Amino acid sequence: MAISTGSQAPFPQSCAPNKELLKPSDISIPTPTHLHENDAHYITHIPGDPAVNLLLDEVRDYLSNQLETPLLDELYDHLWLVARKSGQNIDALHRQRVKGRSIVPAEDPRLHLVWGGDKIYIKPIPVFLLDHDFWTMYLHPRMGETSAPYSQGLSQAATSAFDRSVALGFLRSYALLVPHRLDFMLAKESYLIPEDVDWLLWSSFIRHFRYLGDECVAKRYHYGQLRLSRLNWAVRIFRPQHTSTIWFYEISHWSHADFVARAILTLLFVFASVSLALSSMQVALSVPGDEPWPQGLSESGKRDMQRAFWMFSVVVSPTSGKNVPSPPKHPPNA
CB neighbour burial string for 213-229, b if at least 16 within 10 angstroms, e if fewer: ebebbbbbbebbbbebe
pLDDT tens-digit readout, 267-285? 788 878 777 777 766 666 5
- For residue 28, what are the contacts with CB-CB under 8 A and spacing of at least 6? 56, 155, 157, 158
Tell me the average pLDDT across 305-331: 60
| E strand spans, 136-223 | none
| Interior angle at CA 87, CA 105 and CA 80, nearest 5 | 100
pLDDT tens-digit readout, 129-186? 999 999 998 997 764 454 343 344 444 444 446 889 999 999 999 999 999 999 999 9
Question: Given pLDDT bands bounded at 50, 70 and 90, which one contains residue 243?
Answer: confident
**pLDDT recorded at residue 326:** 56
Q: Per DSSP, what are the bridge partners of residue 53?
A: 45
CA trace torsion 157, 158, 162, 167 (10° rounding): -170
Question: Given pLDDT bands bounded at 50, 70 and 90, which one contains residue 37?
Answer: low
- Residue of 2, 1, 167, 172 whose CA lies nearest to 87: 172
- The CA distance from 41 to 144, in Å, is 34
**pLDDT recorded at residue 219:** 95
Tell me the pTM. Answer: 0.73
Burial class of residue 206 (count of CB atoms within 10 Å of its CB; 0-12, 13-18, 19+): buried
Handedness of CA 237, 241, 243, 249 (dihedral sign): negative
pLDDT tens-digit readout, 79-89? 999 999 999 99
Tell me the average pLDDT across 48-61: 91
